[in-house]
Each structure stands twice: as structure tokens, then as C-alpha cells.
Amino acid sequence: IFFRAFVCPPETMFARKDYAPLDNNAWSCFQVLAMVAAVSVSVGATVGLVTSSASQTNLASSGLTTAVRPTAQTTVRMPIRGRPSGNAIHHSDQALPHFQDTKPEDIQSIAIPSHKRGPSISALLLVPITLAGVVATLWHAVRKPVATPVDPLELVSTTPKAPVGCVYGGHRIDYAMMAISGKKVAVLGGAGGIGQPLALLLKGCDMVSHLSVYDLANFTPGVAVDLSHINTPCTVSGHKGAEELEAALEGADVVVIPAGVARKPGMTRDDLFNTNASIIASLAGACAKVCPKAILVLIANPVNSLVPVAAEVMKKAGVHDPRKVIGVTSLDVTRANTWVGEMNGENPREQNVVVVGGHAGTTILPLLSQVPGSDRWSDEQIKALTNRIQFGGEEVVKAKDGAGSATLSMAYSGAEFVRQILRAINGEQGIVECCYTENNVTEASFFATPTTLGPNGAESVTSLPELSAFEQEGLDSMLPDLKAQIAKGVEFAKSL
């Protein structure tokens, strides 16, 4: 234990995957306890050996005799031959001959030969060893920690899966290893209604080492400065205007795009297409040039059409990887989890409703038949909840009375999805999220379905489970609309 405490770095103290690495405070306490234990054992052993040796050596400086006053129960024995060996005096089983006829009460004292000697060799050796151990222990306890190179995948594999680090429930990774395991995340549209709270949540995520905030607004650098005052190890840079776009993207591992105009009352996601499609095409083109291997996470609406736009732009640039162009549909899942939890009287955090299809109106299809306990719901309840999940955005737009759309809940959902992407990039296995990608699950070329995330983005997709009659009807009716919205995006990109 002492060897591992002072030679092995904290993050490798425990090899089992279900133990978290010790933080700095716990590690210091562990070193102090180990130091106290080592000193106590060493000093105790030294004192014991020295005391034992001294008690068996000559007590008189002259080395003559030690007076012994025997009693009636005393049997005096002398060595058979030779002088005593080591610390022990070897006795025979024969009493002294000249005492055989002598009564014990007549004996005043007996002279027993004593041999003048010092402490044992083992005791002498233990003293310098103990002193060296104390010095080494103190040095290790007070020395300045030095960062030890550790494989980021191994570091993440030793952390617990329970979210304990990010301010919104993310992973905690040792700050000393941030330069190795942290990733650069660029938020394009970071000064907007979704971008600012999204950037705030990502600033608190320990898996992000550099947060790049880009927008056209002149106050974008101020947003970055504001975020930089938050006491997390993530650094923040602000970039404004098209001339600084490439600098914002340089070295990015993940690019999140909430950029675009917001919805207004009576406006559908399709109404946003003409304006936002041009914005996405421009930003995707810059990504293809500066960070072609980055994972693109699109939040801007309409997702059903804009993800195909980004994919086509990447294809034209010759850097397209369908696994790395992803549309975020997490808000639909967030809403479904919230309202299912309310219906069942359960914690919304513990729900995991599967939502497939797209991210617009009736193309959003929650698979409520897969929810445990849904067999207790009536058909009317299922239809009402499905409709609310499909048009939850309208609920927010109306409630804000024209002042905006769903920004905070979208920022939360987007940040949660980015966190899952970062966990997958760092090598964590078994991360499955519903998202909108290019796949062959249905006849639509893009479709949202449970997807296994990995270091390269959307690694694999899950086929649809057995649907209820109501869900099958919804799937059949929405596919023509979804395919038309996809075609609209593809045609726009090809016309550029």
C-alpha cells in the first residue's frame, strides 16, 4: 500500500473500473495517513528491538555480574558449554551441582556471567532505514504534484458512469489531466438565445478544455469574457464576424450549431428554411475546410432539412462522413421524459422514452408503447401525450407571446447531447441517444432513431421495435412529409 501510495500517481491507484481516481484533497489525506502508519510501525519496531537487546546485555559498565536473589521456586541453570550466542543465554536442564545440597533461604546472591555488547545488527540497520523512510515520506507528501501522462481512454475508463462532474450532471475528470482528455468545442451562434445558455452549460463540463464562442454579434467577445470568469478549468475564446470564423473552428473536436433566426408565432420550421439554410451551408463549408474531422451537431431549425444541407456541403468538399453529421432531436426526448414522469408520478430523470422520426410536428413519433406501465393508459391519454410532444415547441412560442421560442430547454437538451458525444469520443462504451442521422432504418434517407455513439460520432443505429397500431399509423403518415423535407435540403445544397 505504501509503495502504491508514493510511487503510483493518484489516477492509477485503483485499477478496477468501478473506482474513481482520488481527488487532490483525498490523495493528500491518504498520503498523511500512510506516512503516520509507516513511521509508527518503523519506530515501534526499532524501539522494541533496541529495548529487547538492551535488557539482555550487561547492565553494569564494569561487566562483572548481575545480582540475582533466588526464591524457593527459583531453579538456577548454567550454560553447558561455550559462551552465550546472540541475545539468548542457552541453559541446560541440570541444576548447578554445588547448589543441590543448599537450601534456597541460605543463598544470598548468585553471580551470573554477563557479556558486554551493544544493540543487535537488525536494530542498527532499522534505524537508518526508518529515517530514510520518514524523509522520503515527507518529501512525497509535500512535493508539488507533477502531471503524469496517462492514456485518456484509460483515464475515462476508471471513472464512474454516474454523472458527478459537469454542472448539469456530467463526468468529473481530474483537472490535472485536462490537457490530455479535454476537447475543444465550438459553438457557432454562441451569442444567441440558445447559444448563450448552451455555452454556459458547456463551460461547466469538465470534458471540455476549450470553449470557442462564435457569432456575428459585436458583443460576442463579451459573452466569452463573461463565461471565462466561471471557475472551471475550461478556457474560453470569443470570435465575432465572418473574418474570425476559421479561428473559432481551428482544432475543434465538436462543432455545435444553434445559429439561425428563431421561430415566431405562427411560423413553422419550414418557414425558417430559406434564411437558415444559407447560414448552415456557410458554416458547414468552413467546417469542411478548417476542421473536416470534427463532429457536427446541428440544432438550428428546421433540422429535418438542414442536416441534409450540411451533409451535401461536406460531400462537395470531399470530406463527408455520415457518422459525423448529426441532428439534435434530444429536446423531443426531454419533453417526453418530463411528461411521462408526470403521468406516472415518477422522477422524469429516470425516464427513457424513445422518440423516432424527425424534429418537426407530426414527424416526431414518441414510442409510448415501449414505456413501462403504458398499458395502463387509455387511448385518449396516449393520443393527447403524443400530440403534446409533437407540438411542444408551439406551447413555448405561445407562452412567450412572440418574444422567442424554446431556448433554455433546447440549450439544456443540446448540452446533454454534446456531453454524451464527448463521453463517446473519450472511449466510453454503450452510449445510446436518439438523434437524426443519415441511415437506412426506413425509406427516408435521414431518420431519428436510437443511435450508439462512439469516437467517430454515430457509430451504429437501432432498428425500429415492434410498433403499436397507433404508432405504425403515425410512421406511415409522416414518412412522405419527412422525405419531402429532406429532398428540399438536398436540392438547396446542390444549387449552391
- Residue 359 catalytic? yes
The answer to whether 212 and 188 have CB atoms below 8 angstroms apart is no
The answer to whether 27 and 10 have CB atoms below 8 angstroms apart is yes
Q: Can you read off the three cell numbers belonging to residue 458? A: 454515430
Residue 136: what pLDDT?
65
Q: Can you read off the three cell numbers belonging to residue 198? A: 448552451
Burial of 44 from C-beta contacts in 10 A (0-12 / 13-18 / 19+): exposed
Tens digit of each residue's pLDDT (9 = 90 or more) over 153-178: 333 333 333 333 343 334 444 444 44
Q: SS3 for 240? A: strand
Residue 104: what pLDDT?
53
Distance between CA atoms of residues 275 and 285, nearest Å: 16
Q: 253: which DSSP letter?
A: S
Grid cell 435521414 is found at: 446
Q: SS3 for 450? A: strand
Name which of 133, 130, 138 is nearest 45 in CA terms. Answer: 130
Within 8 A by CB and 6+ apart from 234, the residues are: 178, 182, 202, 203, 204, 205, 206, 208, 209, 210, 211
Distance between CA atoms of residues 387 and 398, nearest Å: 16
Percent helix / strand / coil, the chain, rounded to 5:
50, 15, 40
Distance between CA atoms of residues 461 and 438, nearest Å: 10
Per-residue pLDDT of the chain (496 residues; tens, 9 = 90+): 455 455 555 544 444 334 344 445 555 555 666 666 666 766 666 666 665 555 555 444 444 444 444 444 444 444 444 444 444 444 444 444 444 455 555 555 555 454 445 555 655 666 666 677 666 666 655 554 444 443 433 333 333 333 333 433 344 444 444 444 689 999 999 999 999 999 999 999 999 999 999 999 999 999 999 999 999 999 999 999 999 999 999 999 999 999 988 766 666 666 789 889 999 999 999 999 999 999 999 999 999 999 999 999 999 999 999 999 999 999 999 999 999 999 999 999 999 999 999 999 999 999 999 999 999 999 999 999 999 999 999 899 899 987 888 999 999 999 999 999 999 999 999 999 999 999 999 999 999 999 999 999 999 999 999 999 999 999 999 999 999 999 999 999 999 8
Distance between CA atoms of residues 109 and 309, nearest Å: 111
Within 8 A by CB and 6+ apart from 88, the residues are: 56
Residue 49: what pLDDT?
60
Q: Is 404 left (phi over 0), alpha (psi -120 to 50) or beta?
A: left
CA dihedral 97, 102, 103, 104 (to 10 degrees): -50
Q: SS3 for 114? A: coil
Q: Quick one: which H or E segment has residue 50?
A: helix 24-55
Radius of gyration of the chain (CA): 38
Distance between CA atoms of residues 216 and 196, nearest Å: 13
Residue tagged active-site, from 171, 239, 320, 359: 359
Grid cell 489531466 is found at: 177
The answer to whether 145 and 6 have CB atoms below 8 angstroms apart is no
Within 8 A by CB and 6+ apart from 29, the residues are: none
Name which of 300, 324, 274 is nearest 495 in CA terms. Answer: 274
